[in-house]
Chains A and B, each alone.
Chain A
Amino acid sequence: EVQLVESGGGLVKPGGSLRLSCAASGFSFKSYSMNWVRQAPGKGLEWVSTISSSSSYIYYADSVKGRFTISRDDARNSLYLQMNSLRAEDTAVYYCARSSGSVDYWGQGTLVTVSS
């Protein structure tokens, strides 16, 4: 069974940093592209970043480019999102999602709140 479990969310002050993790199991993690997608409270889904298998390519939404860094550790079956210079508008539930062409599996999400 495919499982994606996010962790690392919490309350952080504007300008602060946070590192999200996603632990994957039930599939060959190294073979899949992985994504972060977020959802602000009461709002829709927003794609944040994608990393391909072998980290061959990485893409970011303009809203996070230069502030967020996606990475993966295939030996640990883990996906990460390093978030720096956080802003109030980054407040959201962050989902880890697997891609097989399109997104096919989602984690349960971790809440990031940016507030003073």
Chain B
Amino acid sequence: DIQMTQSPSSLSASVGDRVTITCRASQDIGTYLAWFQQKPGKAPKSLIYAASSLQSGVPSKFSGSGSGTDFTLTISSLQPEDLATYYCHHYNTYPLTFGGGTKVEI
């Protein structure tokens, strides 16, 4: 099984900060990597697919990069509404797996 390791597990940043979350796959997954945002008490929301493509309606302050085993999610200017836990997810092969999550606090 492919293991997805996110870091950090939590972070605290200020409004306006640039925030970067990393995700590492235990083997090459090409660009079969997605990012999700989950606000407290809510269902996850899809942000990015294919490592760097924005889902429809997602603001451009979110961006993704990487390929192979190393990936990043960047929030260019953190806002209070970005308080959430962010998960990476590979869909390269089965079983599908998720990273452990990064809790972003303001």
Which residues on A are within 8 Å of B, measured CB to CB?
Answer: 35, 37, 44-47, 50, 59, 61-62, 95, 99, 101-109
Give the shortest distance, in Å, between B81 (CB) and chain A (any CB): 18
- Does the CB pair B44–A106 fall under 8 Å? yes
- Whether B89 lies near A106 (C-beta < 8 A) is no
Choose one: A47, A95, A104, A106; the contact of B49 (CB below 8 Å): A104
- The binding surface of chain A is classed by DSSP as strand
Please count how many residues in chain B sit with their CB below 8 Å of the partner chain's CB atoms.
Answer: 22
Residues of B at the A interface (CB closer than 8 Å) are 32, 34, 36, 38, 43-46, 49-50, 55, 87, 89, 91, 94-101
B98 pairs with A107, CB closer than 8 A: no
In terms of DSSP, what is the predominant structure of the interface of chain B?
Answer: loop
Which chain B residues border A62 with CB–CB below 8 Å? 95
Taking a contact as CB atoms under 8 Å apart, the answer to whether A103 and B89 are in contact is yes
Question: Does the CB pair A50–B46 fall under 8 Å?
Answer: no
B99 CB contacts on chain A under 8 angstroms = 44
Q: Which 6 A-B pairs have the closest CB atoms?
A: A102-B34, A47-B96, A102-B49, A45-B98, A59-B94, A106-B43
- Nearest Cβ in chain B — how far from A45, in angstroms? 4
Q: Which residue of A lies closest to B97 (CB)?
A: A47
